[in-house]
Amino acid sequence: MMDDLVNALIRRLWQVMLVSSCSMVAVFVILMAEPLKKGDSHGGGIIVFVKQSNSKAPLQHGFIAASSDLANPLSWSDAKATCDSLTLNGFTDWTLPTREDLSRLLINNEMVGGFQEADYWSSSAFEPDSAWCQHFLGGKEYIRPREMRLRVRPIRKF
């Protein structure tokens, strides 16, 4: 009986030590990892925006743009649906950029590359029948009817 208790305690101690050491390794790997930078190829596309969570945590957030537009201009609803179901470079969490994300894409358009001088859809609706878009490379924002066929550049968040 005493041997069973000792064996159970030893087994539990080993489990705690194993979990602790794995956690320490994970923290070490995160701390030693190179920070992500705008313009890097990563996660199936090109990093457009990076924000540090806070000064104490090494976590970064931002978004990655696909390296090219979808093949054909699409209506707003088709653009949203196509991005939501897109599998590209092994990733399935692509989305249509928000109005703010689209502005960041415009600012970094030379770094990302491949944009046409055309209107691009954002996911930001304006009214039931219209949504926001942005003209590349001119930079102006417009409200267009959702049935118009515009260019689409998918993004994914991290």
* Alpha carbons 135 and 119: distance in angstroms, whole number: 4
Hey, what CATH topology would domain 41-157 get? Mannose-Binding Protein A; Chain A (3.10.100)
pLDDT at res. 70: 98
Domain boundary assignment for the chain: 1-33, 41-157
How far is residue 126 from each of residues 15, 36, 123, measured CA to CA in Å? Answer: 55, 33, 10
Considering the entire predicted model, what is its pTM?
0.75
pLDDT at 60: 82
Cβ atoms of 83 and 144 within 8 Å: the answer is no
Would you state the pLDDT for residue 45? 97
- Give the pLDDT score at 65: 98
Compute the distance between CA of residue 151 and CA of residue 133 in angstroms, rounded to an integer. 9
* Residue partners of 29: CB distance under 8 A and separation at least 6: none
- DSSP letter string, the chain: -HHHHHHHHHHHHHHHHHHHHHHHHHHHHHHHSPPP-TT-EETTEEEEEEEEEETTEEEEEEEEE-SS--SS-B-HHHHHHHHHH--BTTB---BPPPHHHHHHHHHTHHHH----SEEEEEEEEEETTEEEEEEETT--EEEEETTS-BB---EEE-
pLDDT in the model for residue 29? 47
Per-block mean pLDDT, blocks of 10 residues, the chain (158 long): 59 60 50 76 95 70 96 98 98 98 95 95 97 93 98 96
